[in-house]
């Protein structure tokens, strides 16, 4: 260490050996002697000054560039940041716009589906209530059986089961419904925005909605088929009894069910598929309305027998030899014989029009069933109803007897339609069709 520092000192003293600087002014010579130490100190000061100047110069020269570089970096960062922020904002806007589009489409689709559903539900409920009434009527009528008391051969099979509509709608109906549904998707997809995710979501929703539409169309078709089958059947029942159907039922042009929904029964702003649904629905509802009218009418048509107990059919309707005076005369009703004081019952719902004694008929009851129908029960032993009293099917009106112009215990039963006697046997036979195949 001391050797090395001694060497360094020797080098220094060689470089900075003692110097004399001569200076002459005005003929006088001065000299300045500079020791090694002084020279080293001066050199150090000069060196330090040079270093400072160099540093300052570099700083001055490059500062601008450093600032520019720093500025550029921060600008790049700022741009990247704001670009990302903008992207995020746009993504958010896209998502919320997407949500809005999807929600709007969803709301519209749901409104379509639920208005069709509401309509179908009303019709299905109405049809179910008609079926229930018809079942009750069929069950009631089966109690009395046929004209001579024949019981239904196959149990209490109600008409609705006996003549089911086609169990499944025809193939043509299914393909028609599918075709309409496909057209519906196409038209709705065409109307919906074509851009990315919203379009996809809406398309898959439209597909699901179209499947529901198909189901609704098929339900409608099946409902229409059942309603028209039943309507036609009940019409045949009435026709077979000789009842002019148009006198009890007015065919519906525009369905009451549809009108009861309120608003236009065909939405003209709806697409073709929807219009198709509503037209079909109107037709179906009209069939249901007619069925309901027939069911109400048939409820008051005397389709049963005045005796639900064991009985014998003893005398028919029309011209016959009078059992008392032997002359040919018209018999305006039919006669049943049964045990003395057997209950005589109403053959349909109605209001007692007359309860008392009539010349020839003895103790007699007449019931007004509405729609021009009146039934008469004669030769009774006892009357159990009063004029003005409401009666239901198979309510007791009196007891079988032998009063009036009668040769033995029996009930004389008449059906008058607008005052004109009709053959009751045909009505009782028609009643069998309601509960029997
Ligand atoms: Zn008679």
For the segment 132-163, what is each residue's pLDDT rounded down to a tens digit? 998 888 888 888 777 766 665 544 444 444 34
At residue 381, what are phi and psi to the nearest 5 degrees? Answer: -80, -35
Q: Does some domain include residue 241?
A: yes
39 Cβ partners below 8 Å, 6+ apart? Answer: 16, 19
Residue 196 and residue 54 in one domain: no
Tens of pLDDT, residue by residue over 374-426, are: 999 999 999 999 999 999 999 999 999 988 888 889 999 999 999 999 999 98
Name the least confident of 52-61, 246-255, 286-295: 246-255
User: pLDDT higher for 432 or 334?
Assistant: 334
Q: Does some domain include residue 202?
A: yes
Domain boundary among 229, 264, 299: 299
Distances (CA, A) of 319 to 316, 418, 425: 9, 21, 15
Residue 65 reports pLDDT greater than 80: yes
User: pLDDT higher for 164 or 180?
Assistant: 180
Cross-strand partners of 390: 351
Distances (CA, A) of 43 to 21, 37, 46, 280: 16, 10, 5, 114
- CATH number for the domain harbouring residue 322: 2.70.70.10
Token representation of residue 370: 């509405």
Q: Does some domain include residue 86?
A: yes
Residue 165 and residue 267 in one domain: yes
Residue 317 and residue 290 in one domain: no
Tens of pLDDT, residue by residue over 12-57, are: 778 888 878 787 888 888 888 888 888 888 889 999 999 999 988 8
Average pLDDT over every residue of 257-264? 48
Q: How far apart are CA 227 and CA 135, in angstroms?
A: 15
Q: How far apart are CA 401 and CA 381, in angstroms?
A: 4
User: What pLDDT does 388 receive?
Assistant: 96
Q: Does some domain include residue 98?
A: no
Residue 254 and residue 188 in one domain: yes
For residue 420, report the distance from its CA to the centre of ligand 1, in Å: 16
For residue 379, report the distance from its CA to the centre of ligand 1, in Å: 9
Average pLDDT over every residue of 327-346? 90
Q: Which domain holds residue 62?
A: 2-90
Residue 121 and residue 244 in one domain: yes
Residue 348 and residue 283 in one domain: no
Strands 411-417, 334-337: pairing kind: antiparallel
Average pLDDT over every residue of 272-296? 84
Average pLDDT over every residue of 273-288? 84
For residue 96, report the distance from its CA to the centre of ligand 1, in Å: 85
pLDDT above 70: percentage of residues in the chain: 86
Model confidence band, residue 344 (pLDDT cutoffs 50, 70, 90) = very high
Q: How far apart are CA 346 and CA 369, in angstroms?
A: 10
Query: E-assigned strands of 12-122?
Result: 19-25, 28-34
Average pLDDT over every residue of 262-275? 56
Q: Does some domain include residue 306?
A: no
Residue 323 reports pLDDT greater than 80: no
Token representation of residue 45: 């000061």
User: What pLDDT does 255 receive?
Assistant: 57
Please give all residues whose CB falls under 5 A of ion ligand 1, grouped by chain where several chains appear: 335, 412
Residue 254 reports pLDDT greater than 80: no
Residue 300 reports pLDDT greater than 50: yes
Exposed, middle or buried, 56 (CB in 10 Å: 0-12/13-18/19+)? Answer: exposed
Q: How far apart are CA 58 and CA 356, in angstroms?
A: 139
Model confidence band, residue 315 (pLDDT cutoffs 50, 70, 90) = confident
Residue 196 reports pLDDT greater than 80: no
Residue 241 and residue 353 in one domain: no
- List % helix, strand, coil for the chain (3-state, nearest 5): 55, 20, 25
Domain boundary among 299, 332, 367: 299
Q: Does some domain include residue 195?
A: yes
Average pLDDT over every residue of 83-88? 92
Residue 279 and residue 330 in one domain: no
For residue 400, report the distance from its CA to the centre of ligand 1, in Å: 13
Structural domains of the chain, count: 3
Residue 254 and residue 335 in one domain: no
Nearest to 349 by CA among 302, 315, 316, 285: 302
User: What pLDDT does 272 receive?
Assistant: 67
User: What pLDDT does 250 receive?
Assistant: 66
**Dihedral over alpha carbons 290, 291, 296, 298 (to 10 degrees):** 110
Average pLDDT over every residue of 267-276? 64
Residue 7 and residue 58 in one domain: yes
Average pLDDT over every residue of 247-262? 58
Residue 410 and residue 365 in one domain: yes
For residue 283, report the distance from its CA to the centre of ligand 1, in Å: 46
Q: How far apart are CA 354 and CA 368, in angstroms?
A: 9
pLDDT above 90: percentage of residues in the chain: 27
For residue 48, report the distance from its CA to the centre of ligand 1, in Å: 153
Name the least confident of 30-39, 74-83, 176-185: 176-185
Domain boundary among 273, 299, 325: 299
Q: How far apart are CA 254 and CA 275, in angstroms?
A: 15
Tens of pLDDT, residue by residue over 412-422, are: 999 999 999 99
Secondary structure of residue 174 in the 3-state scheme: helix
For residue 140, report the distance from its CA to the centre of ligand 1, in Å: 25
Residue 85 and residue 123 in one domain: no
Residue 165 reports pLDDT greater than 50: no
Average pLDDT, the chain: 82
CB 257 within 8 A of CB 126: yes
CB 168 within 8 A of CB 151: no
Q: Does some domain include residue 398?
A: yes
For residue 407, report the distance from its CA to the centre of ligand 1, in Å: 10
User: What pLDDT does 257 receive?
Assistant: 54
Q: How far apart are CA 333 and CA 411, in angstroms?
A: 10
Q: Does some domain include residue 304?
A: no
Cross-strand partners of 345: 396
Residue 268 reports pLDDT greater than 60: no
Model confidence band, residue 170 (pLDDT cutoffs 50, 70, 90) = low
Read out DSSP for 299-313?
Answer: HTS--S-S--SS-EE
């Amino acid at each position: 260490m001391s050797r090395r520092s001694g060497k360094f000192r020797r080098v220094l003293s060689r470089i900075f050996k003692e110097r004399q600087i001569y200076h002459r002014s005005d003929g006088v010579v001065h000299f300045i002697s500079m020791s090694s130490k002084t020279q080293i100190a001066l050199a150090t000061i000069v060196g330090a000054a040079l270093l400072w100047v160099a540093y300052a110069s570099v700083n001055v020269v490059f500062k601008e560039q450093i600032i520019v570089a720093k500025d550029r970096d921060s600008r790049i960062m700022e741009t990247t940041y704001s670009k990302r922020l903008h992207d995020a904002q746009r993504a958010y806007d896209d998502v919320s716009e997407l949500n809005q589009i999807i929600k709007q489409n969803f709301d519209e689709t749901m409104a379509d589906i639920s208005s069709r559903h509401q309509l179908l539900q009303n019709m299905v409920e109405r049809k179910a209530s008609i079926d229930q009434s018809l079942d009750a009527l069929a069950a009631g009528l089966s109690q009395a059986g046929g004209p001579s008391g024949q019981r239904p051969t196959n149990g209490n099979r109600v008409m609705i089961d006996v003549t089911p509509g086609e169990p499944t709608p025809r193939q043509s109906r299914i393909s028609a419904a599918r075709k309409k549904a496909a057209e519906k998707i196409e038209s709705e997809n065409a109307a919906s925005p074509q851009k990315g995710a919203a379009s996809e979501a809406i398309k898959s929703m439209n597909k699901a909605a179209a499947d529901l539409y198909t189901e609704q169309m098929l339900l409608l078709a099946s409902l229409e088929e059942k309603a028209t089958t039943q309507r036609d059947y009940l019409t045949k029942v009435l026709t077979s009894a000789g009842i002019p159907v148009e006198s009890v039922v007015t065919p519906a042009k525009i369905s009451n069910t549809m009108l009861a929904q309120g608003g236009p029964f065909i939405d003209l702003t709806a697409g073709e598929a929807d219009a198709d649904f509503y037209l079909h629905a109107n037709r179906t509802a009209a069939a249901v309305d007619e069925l309901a009218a027939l069911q109400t009418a048939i409820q008051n048509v005397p389709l049963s027998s005045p005796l639900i107990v064991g009985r014998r059919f003893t005398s028919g309707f029309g011209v016959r030899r009078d059992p008392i005076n032997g002359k040919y005369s018209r018999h305006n009703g039919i006669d049943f014989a049964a045990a003395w004081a057997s209950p005589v019952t109403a053959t349909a719902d109605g209001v007692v029009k007359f309860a008392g004694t009539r010349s020839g008929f003895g103790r007699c009851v007449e019931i007004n069933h509405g729609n021009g129908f009146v039934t008469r029960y004669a030769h009774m032993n006892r009357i159990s109803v009063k004029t003005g009293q409401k009666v239901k099917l198979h309510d007791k009106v009196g007891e079988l007897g032998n009063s009036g112009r009668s040769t033995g215990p029996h009930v004389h039963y008449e059906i008058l339609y607008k005052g004109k006697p009709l053959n009751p046997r045909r009505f009782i036979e028609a009643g069998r069709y309601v509960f029997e195949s």
